[in-house]
């Protein structure tokens, strides 16, 4: 059975696009049933329209009451029988009612080797700027389950690259993005094939 996947994205949605193409190629045993975004004009929404993927806009403009907005997330997710939630550059914090209702079913990808350069304020280019500023020898991506603690959920996979002396935040961003796409695809494939398990709070990807 294909797993029902809902993607959350606020920007260009490059990981969203990559996962969609991997599904179309038969690499992932799932299907994207919905995109949720806070930005109706973002690249991810444009992509969803092009490929006739249903989408839902949830933001402060449409839902001025925070409880109503948080309930809307949960109602929409439940209505699509969601089995996996993928965060793909979603710039809003996931509400607690969703985190509690979808424990170990929400996955995020972060462009650093957590716990370094994670948490509030660390996103996008700010992460790569910090890596360069602190003269880090390596960086990479971390894919993890989402919990109530920002960027502190159980790590599923980390991939590293070497930071060169010639790197700028912009060149580093492009290099990290390449391993983001491949790594996220591997993790989503494993989840949809029921190959991710826990052993004493440590995530195991079974062969």
| pLDDT tens per residue across span 38-87 | 999 999 999 999 999 999 999 999 999 999 999 999 999 999 999 999 99
The arithmetic mean of pLDDT across residues 116-126, rounded, is 88
Task: Please tell me the predicted confidence (pLDDT) of residue 1.
Answer: 87
For the chain, percent of residues with pLDDT exceeding 70: 100
175: which 2 tokens?
């290099």
Structural domain span for residue 124: 3-205
Residue 179 pLDDT grade (very low, low, confident, very high; cuts 50, 70, 90): very high
Asked if 110 is an active-site residue, the reply is yes
Answer whether 139's CB lies under 8 Å from 131's CB.
yes
Handedness of CA 57, 58, 59, 64 (dihedral sign): positive
If you search the block for the tokens 């880090």, which residue do you land on?
Answer: 136
Q: Residues 21, 110, 128, 182: which is the catalytic one? A: 110
The whole-model pTM stands at 0.95
* Domain at 87, CATH number: 3.40.50.170
Q: How far apart are CA 76 and CA 151, in angstroms?
A: 24
Q: Which residue in 41, 44, 83, 39 sits closest to 62, CA to CA?
A: 39
What is the rounded distance in angstroms from the CA atom of residue 158 to the CA atom of residue 193? 20
The count of structural domains within the chain is 1
């Amino acid at each position: 059975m294909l797993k029902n996947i809902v993607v959350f994205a606020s920007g260009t949605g490059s990981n969203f696009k990559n996962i969609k193409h991997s599904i179309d190629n038969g690499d992932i045993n799932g299907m994207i049933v919905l995109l949720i975004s806070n930005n109706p004009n973002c690249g991810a929404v444009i992509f969803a329209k092009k490929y006739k993927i249903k989408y839902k806009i949830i933001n402060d403009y449409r839902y001025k009451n925070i409880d109503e907005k948080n309930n809307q997330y949960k109602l929409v997710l439940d209505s699509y029988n969601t089995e996996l939630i993928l965060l793909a550059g979603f710039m809003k914090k996931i509400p607690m009612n969703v985190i509690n209702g979808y424990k170990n079913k929400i996955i995020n990808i972060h462009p650093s080797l957590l716990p370094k350069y994670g948490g509030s304020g660390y996103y996008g280019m700010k992460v790569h700027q910090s890596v360069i500023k602190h003269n880090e020898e390596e960086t990479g991506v971390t894919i993890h389950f989402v919990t109530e603690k920002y960027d502190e959920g159980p790590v599923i996979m980390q991939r590293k690259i070497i930071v060169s002396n010639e790197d700028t935040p912009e060149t580093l961003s492009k290099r990290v993005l390449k391993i983001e796409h491949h790594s996220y695809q591997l993790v989503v494939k494993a989840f949809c094939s029921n190959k991710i398990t826990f052993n004493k709070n440590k995530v195991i990807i079974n062969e």
